[in-house]
Structure 1
Amino acid sequence: MKKTLVILITTFAVLSVAVEAQSTSAPHGGNPPLVSGRSVITTKYGIVAATQPMAAMSGIQILERGGNAIDAAIATNAVLGLMEPANNGIGGDLFAIVYEAKTGKLYGLNASGWAPKAETLELLAAKGITKMPPSSVWTATVPGAVAGWVAMKERFGTKSFSELLAPAIYYAENGVPINEVTAEDWRKFEKALAEHPYPKATFLVNGERAPGFGEIWKNPDLAKSLRRIAENGHDGFYKGATALAIVETVKEFGGVMALDDLADFRPEWVEPISTTYRGWVVYEIPPNTQGIAALMMLNLMEQFPMHEYGFHSSKSLHTMIEAKKLAYADVLKYVGDPNFSKIPVQQLLSKERAAKRAKLIGPRANCSVQADAVAGLSDAGGSDTIYMTTIDKEGNIVSLIQSNYSAFGSRIVPKGTGFVLQNRGALFTLEPNQPNSLAGHKRPLHTIIPAFMKKGDAKIGFGIMGGWNQAQAHAQFVADVVDYGMTIQQALEAGRITKLNFTGCDVFVEESVPESVRNELLSLGHQLSVYPRRGMGPFGLGQAVMDSNTGAHYGASDPRADGEAIPQPGPVFDQMSIPAEK
């Protein structure tokens, strides 16, 4: 029996590449947790993991043509905008963390757009608007995604835009089948898209319905917008015909976006913020994002013996839920655009502060954590986003997230462009003197966050989308890898809990959390809503890639959606000598 147990534990340690890649393996208590599902994929070359296999394959094609992880990320993101327009596109924002293998350095990119210069608290007050509407012209901020592509390409890319955007242009003109989960999600917004002629003509088949599963989808207007970017880069979007269409359409809806708001926008390269978690270093994008909440959660969780509590135990889940409440309360109170107010990042990430805050986590659910209720922020609920990640044969990694915020964003389609403007401005508050108060050329607090973690030779690019779910999902992913020894695939598939608001004791939980544990959480005062594993719940969709300097790269994709992690094959035919037929 002892020999059998040793063999089982040894076998699991081999499978757990995220742990084996380190010099010291994470401990396992008794039998290892079983999260069944897909296998981790592996290759000597590159990997692209995304929510649409055809988009991921487009990135692989770029890698096969000699491009790097940055090139592949841009190409993949462009195709995702065509195939998943509810969640992302060139009318949205983008953030990325880039790992440069040759230097070992990390670079953060904040390509989140600002509010129009003329859009102010005073202007909206004069119009009788006291709270940011969830989806309207006033929520349409300048799109940052294309500027993000330009910044990534100029600093790290090797290919031209004409090559990087070729797959998206081809599929937009010639058509691509729509996948199962995407089709189901799209169908929910038929009525909303039909309310105005521009989105109706752009996103509904014959102006009547969403494309079905397997139906060939084309978007020739988007192809034209992408061609302008391919020809003129930044100016192909932020100046010229596309910019003019954006401004004129916004004015049709009564908005105040001007040509200068677009032409003057530039993204920012930023230093990722980080914390340590039981020997690993975990990185997020700094404010104006919620990334700091994931790091604060980990600092709080580190005060508790999560491994001893066990995976999916009531103690471990209770600790995560309560840590989430405390961390998100701090986000609401302190986080906004650092160009407009000082954000106490180092103080919030202090281990000493975490030790004090952790004492607030008691044995029962706290239904009254002091989270300041900020109108238009704490009750905002957009969660429509894509996350994708790439690695190339040299080990460069891109962790990238891109979003419209809510499904189809503001629902405003600039005439003839084939894309929708995001509604990210819905996250501004109209209360004055707050870190996240609306102001001209200010960026709102952002929910979307890419992530990265490393220990020794192990480096993991990962992310899980889903509005306010993201930071808490990141913390759960890290715990699954570090505390419970899971592979990156198991950590993505593991059942999650999430709390999307900032008050009360309500929590969403996946049914893969054992019923006995759910009953124990109920007895602690948590109020649970249970979702099936693939039931379009609020738990987000994730991807991950990993390098451990063993000569192999690893990839994983969340089975909750249509996605896949696709490995790059070797250059078989480049080296093959085929004799001529006699």
Structure 2
Amino acid sequence: MNRRTFLATLPAAAIAAPAFAEATVPPARWTAGADRFERPDLHGGDRPVGASFASRTAAYGLSGAAGTAHPLATLAGIEILRKGGSAVDAAIAINACLGFLEPTSCGIGGDCYAMLWDPKAGAVMGLAGSGASPRGLDLATVRSRAKDGALPPLGAITVSVPGTVDAWGMLHARYGKLKWAELFEPAIDLAERGAPVPDIIAYYIRRALVNFRKPGAGIEEIDNALRTYAIGGEGPKAGGVFRNPDLARTYRMIAQGGRDAFYEGEIAKTIDAYFRRIGGWLRREDLAAHKGEWITPYKTDYRGVGVHALGANTQGIATLQMLNILEHFDLEAAGFQSPLSIHLQVEAKRLAYEDRARYYADPHVAKVPVDWLISKEYAAQRARLINPNGIMQGIRPGQAPSQGDTTYFTCADKDGMMVSMIQSNFRGMGSGLVADGLGFMFQDRGQLFALRDGHPNLYAPGKRPFQTIIPGFATIGDQPWMSFGVMGGDMQPQGQVQIIVNRRDHGLEIQAAGDSPRWHHEGSSQAMGEDSPGLPATGLLRLESGVPEKTRAALAAMGWTIGASDGGFGRYECIEKRMDGPDRVYAAASEMRADGCALAY
């Protein structure tokens, strides 16, 4: 039947006024150049297996796996593994690639932390690669640059010693199999040949460049940053090809001269000269004095899962504090994505973050009561403060007993080593400062120093600032289970807890556990410099659009101030060891909120 014959058989009313004629039809086409295609009435397709909201299936392999925020970095890691490299070799190669491919989140101007499963030792090892503030920058000068009681986010005042290259050197010296120089070949090749920039990374580069150019941004000079990253003056468009020959040249120096090329050689000389030229404070002596440290991770048991976290000057133990509190509530019975479950998790976060703001600092210069903070006894006290039917008011940190946009990636190898690694320049792309001809931006981690007398995180010369970047690791019994992380400032412990709850309490597999809609709570009575001013007394609870409407309405009715979904829900990668022995099986999952992927072979 042709169309004319078909229409002739329809009632006149049906032709004149079809049932959908008055329905509002949203745009059916993505506007060229737009960052988003908004159709809140539409959701993803229906998968035949697995969680209805999952974006894809985990990748499986027998010999190794890698998950990163950029497909080309993941491929580089797999190539290193296939050449016989260790998981540490792959992690270093991945990180070097991401410094070029994802400069919005990482680079050798920032710090680096790692946890890894050492199959020979049968234990989780930790590495803190965090740099200190310049020794020639005093507290009075820092306070003179403060705004509203906190350091500004940009400029030389917030630059601390980059710890990443030294961390790479320490990891390779203990666990590397391939030659050091081989690990930089993929990144050098990419930086010289160029690579298309994915959508999300391109978006954040452009946004960072806009911020750098704002009047009063406080950056001593931005010409180098614009020369390095501003393709066509505004930054790359999605799919635009980006090259960074300066970074390739810097990588060649590191490949040939090792970590000393960065901290004592030509790179250090260039950094020193640059900061002297612009009136900054970082010096060659600061770089030469830097050294990362091997540290023993802390651990708590959450319903039979050993969850590990780094102490040092990080926020890692906040994950342990939150889980210890949540252990006193039946989240499985509360229900997946239920109002009660989210309410309990957010309240646990608020309690832990009060302590985070009060006590967390560099343990080399401050007494941090970690054992008390992560104790089951203290968690029981804090859990009793939570009302399942209402929001806590006026909460404060516990009273300690008296005493005399970050990138995450993970990889695993044929020998059973699993590496959980995170590396960051902190806020945005970093400080806005790129040294002459080096091709990387310096971190602005110093913004997280406190300026209040008596605070353990008070700024001091040569001191490490409070750190937000934290890798995650979980074990079951005496065996590794998950190498995982959720990047993104103060979202990281919140995201790690949601992954563990999704997996342990709700039984989700690793890809669905990451694809599940997330919550992000902002604000506490005490802040570490990252909270926006003017938040409600109980903070702002942001929910992704996938959270059920009934849950959203119930939380609002309870009194939570619900914020818009702003993209600040972190980005996740994970490798799970499914089976061991002759047929060891790795499952690898990647973040649907980022540009990357996970692969296994």
Name the TM tier (shorter chain).
Answer: 0.7 to 0.9
1:96·1:399 contact (CA, 8 Å) conserved in 2? yes
Inter-partner Cα distance in structure 2 for 1:510 and 1:128:
34
AA partner of residue 557 (structure 2): S
Is 1:80 the equivalent of 2:80? Answer: no
1:441 to 443, 462, 465: 462
2:205·2:229 contact (CA, 8 Å) conserved in 1? no
The two structures, once aligned, show a CA RMSD in angstroms of 1.7
Inter-partner Cα distance in structure 1 for 2:53 and 2:146:
52
Q: Superposition pairs for residues 175-190 of structure 1, below 5 Å?
A: 175-190=194-209
3-state SS of 1:320 partner: helix
Cα distance change on mapping 1:370 and 1:239 into 2, 3 Å: same
For these two proteins, the number of residue pairs brought into alignment is: 522
Cα distance change on mapping 1:127 and 1:455 into 2, 3 Å: closer
3-state SS of 2:306 partner: strand
Partner of 2:190: 171
Cα distance change on mapping 1:59 and 1:33 into 2, 3 Å: closer
Inter-partner Cα distance in structure 1 for 2:365 and 2:503:
37
Cα distance change on mapping 1:191 and 1:125 into 2, 3 Å: closer
1:497·1:510 contact (CA, 8 Å) conserved in 2? yes
Inter-partner Cα distance in structure 2 for 1:523 and 1:118:
53
1:193·1:203 contact (CA, 8 Å) conserved in 2? no
Cα distance change on mapping 1:472 and 1:128 into 2, 3 Å: closer
CA apart distance, 1:193: 4.6
Inter-partner Cα distance in structure 2 for 1:451 and 1:35:
24
2:78·2:600 contact (CA, 8 Å) conserved in 1? yes
Inter-partner Cα distance in structure 2 for 1:313 and 1:49:
30
Is 1:269 the equivalent of 2:290? Answer: no
TM-score normalized with structure 1 length: 0.87
Partner of 2:176: 157
AA partner of residue 189 (structure 1): A
What does the per-residue CA deviation read over 1:322-374, in whole Å, with 9 as the maximum and x for residues that have no partner?
000000001111110000011111101111111111011112122432259xx
What does the per-residue CA deviation read over 1:52-104, in whole Å, with 9 as the maximum and x for residues that have no partner?
00011001111111101000000001000101112100001000001112331
Q: Superposition pairs for residues 460-475 of structure 1, below 5 Å?
A: 460-475=482-497
AA partner of residue 599 (structure 2): I
AA partner of residue 539 (structure 1): F
CA apart distance, 1:458: 5.2
3-state SS of 2:115 partner: strand
3-state SS of 1:548 partner: strand
3-state SS of 1:188 partner: helix
3-state SS of 2:482 partner: strand
3-state SS of 1:522 partner: helix
Inter-partner Cα distance in structure 2 for 1:138 and 1:184:
27
3-state SS of 1:346 partner: helix
AA partner of residue 172 (structure 1): A
Is 1:483 the equivalent of 2:505? Answer: yes
3-state SS of 1:462 partner: strand
Inter-partner Cα distance in structure 2 for 1:320 and 1:67:
40
Inter-partner Cα distance in structure 1 for 2:494 and 2:277:
39
Moved more, 419-428 or 432-441: 432-441
Inter-partner Cα distance in structure 2 for 1:305 and 1:567:
35
Give the unaligned 5+ runs of structure 1: 1-31, 373-383, 569-582
Is 1:201 the equivalent of 2:227? Answer: yes
CA apart distance, 1:225: 0.7
AA partner of residue 130 (structure 2): S
2:325·2:380 contact (CA, 8 Å) conserved in 1? yes
Partner of 2:595: 562
Give the unaligned 5+ runs of structure 2: 1-49, 214-220, 399-404, 526-536
Q: Superposition pairs for residues 27-426 of structure 1, below 5 Å?
A: 34-125=52-143, 131-193=150-212, 196-206=222-232, 208-362=233-387, 363-370=389-396, 384-426=405-447
What does the per-residue CA deviation read over 1:238-276, in whole Å, with 9 as the maximum and x for residues that have no partner?
122211221222223322222110011000100001111
1:96·1:110 contact (CA, 8 Å) conserved in 2? yes
Inter-partner Cα distance in structure 2 for 1:49 and 1:127:
40
2:567 to 537, 541, 546: 537
CA apart distance, 1:190: 2.9
Inter-partner Cα distance in structure 1 for 2:411 and 2:98:
14
Inter-partner Cα distance in structure 1 for 2:328 and 2:461:
41
Identity of aligned residues (%): 38
Partner of 2:32: none
1:458·1:549 contact (CA, 8 Å) conserved in 2? no
What does the per-residue CA deviation read over 1:155-204, in whole Å, with 9 as the maximum and x for residues that have no partner?
11112221000000011111111112111222212334557211111111
Inter-partner Cα distance in structure 1 for 2:590 and 2:72:
14
3-state SS of 1:107 partner: strand
Partner of 2:553: 519
Q: Give the number of the structure whose alpha-carbon radius of gyration is greater.
A: 2
3-state SS of 1:113 partner: coil
